[in-house]
Amino acid sequence: MDPIAKLDESITTAPENIEAAETLSALEEVETRLLGKDSVVGEVRRSMGGLEKELRPKVGAKLNEATGLIQDLLDEKRNELQDQELELQLRDEAIDVTLDAVSFPRGRLHIIQQTIDEVIDIFVGLGYQVADGPEAELAWYNFDALNTPSTHPSRLESDTMYLDWGDPRDEVLLRTHTSPVQARWMESHEPPVYIVVPGRTYRTDTVDATHLPVFHQIEGLAVDENIVFSDLKGTLLHWAREFFGPQSQVRLRPSFFPFTEPSAEMDVSCFACDGGEPGCRVCGGAGWLELLGCGMVDPNVLEAAGYDPNRVSGFAFGMGPERLAMVRHGIDSIKHFIDNDLRFLGQF
């Protein structure tokens, strides 16, 4: 038979053969049959050498045509079958996406730590440094340096834990606030001073829903030339807006602390309701949350630190991260903070 006719027949029958293959392995057999050594194409390729010279180009061209056409059909079919197989595989290996099959370990920072970090970062953003000091502290730094009279009730053993340690003339106690760090910092630094002091503090208190014998405070102190009361207000307003949201308002009310004069309590407008919604879960309808004590640094405190109260002035404030966290997250008992129950800590 004429090789060209053979090749033509091959071309004609190839689609049918190829289409009949249902799997990739069947397609490979088809490929061998159509293009392999014993196929028509293979035979013709082998016989090329024996052809008459003038026939060769024609047969050669036909051979290339047939090979190309068949190869294209095979490739097309192979793609189709591969797609089908992948399709099946994907269907077979589907997973239940609602099954938590793999759990990466997740730890947390304690919510008090998170609260402290968030607060101090706001002040760091304002140019403050973060200071630290001893928890077992000299009574001098805890009280005297902060203008606390020797007869002030806060010095009583009913309020302050004293340590059975050291020279009785240098009485050592567990600091009742973070303010002694103020005194220490001022003693070793010249103004300007802009610091925040987060830390642990101690009071003789029994554990109940709102009291712990050991809790945390975040203290702030700014001493510089030309610091006025309005700066205290503006600084705390900035803090409140960063912490509770840009709609926050602050309210200062006169109060009394030995280490500030004038002294104030600061309230922040309730973040949960729009000002005194009756029965609000956060403010109970008051519209304001009592959050911190503050004031202008008492001249006696500046003098005790060796600063000249006629040249510099300053303000100080103190807040409780436990209270902040309780208010913000609706935590009903301060005791949760020391149980270290993963079911509690894992919520934050």
138, 171 Cβ separation under 8 angstroms: yes
298 binds other proteins (CB under 8 A): yes
112 binds other proteins (CB under 8 A): yes
Q: Which residue has the tokens 């600063």?
A: 307
Beta bridge partners of 314: 223
Binding to other proteins (CB under 8 A) within 194-213 occurs at 194, 200, 204-206, 212-213
Residue from the set 2, 53, 97, 104 that interacts with other proteins by CB under 8 A: 104
Amino acid present at 172: V
Stretch that binds other proteins, among 2-10, 14-22, 86-94, 235-243 (CB under 8 A): 235-243
Nearest CA-CA partner of 199 in 263, 286, 284, 130: 130
303 binds other proteins (CB under 8 A): no
State in angstroms the smallest separation of the CB of 29 from other proteins: 39
Residue from the set 8, 28, 135, 242 that interacts with other proteins by CB under 8 A: 135
Stretch that binds other proteins, among 1-9, 61-69, 85-93, 102-110 (CB under 8 A): 102-110
243 binds other proteins (CB under 8 A): no
Q: Toward other proteins, which CB reaches closer, 271 or 344? A: 344
Stretch that binds other proteins, among 2-10, 46-54, 66-74, 98-106 (CB under 8 A): 98-106
Residue from the set 33, 233, 271, 272 that interacts with other proteins by CB under 8 A: 233
290, 323 Cβ separation under 8 angstroms: no
Per-residue DSSP letter, 255: E
Q: What is the DSSP string of 291-307?
A: EEEEEEEPHHHHHHTT-
State in angstroms the smallest separation of the CB of 143 from other proteins: 14
Cα dihedral 179, 180, 181, 183 sign: positive
277 binds other proteins (CB under 8 A): no
Nearest CA-CA partner of 316 in 338, 340, 292, 334: 292
Residue from the set 83, 163, 190, 308 that interacts with other proteins by CB under 8 A: 163
Pairing of strands 313-319, 288-297: antiparallel
Beta bridge partners of 252: 266
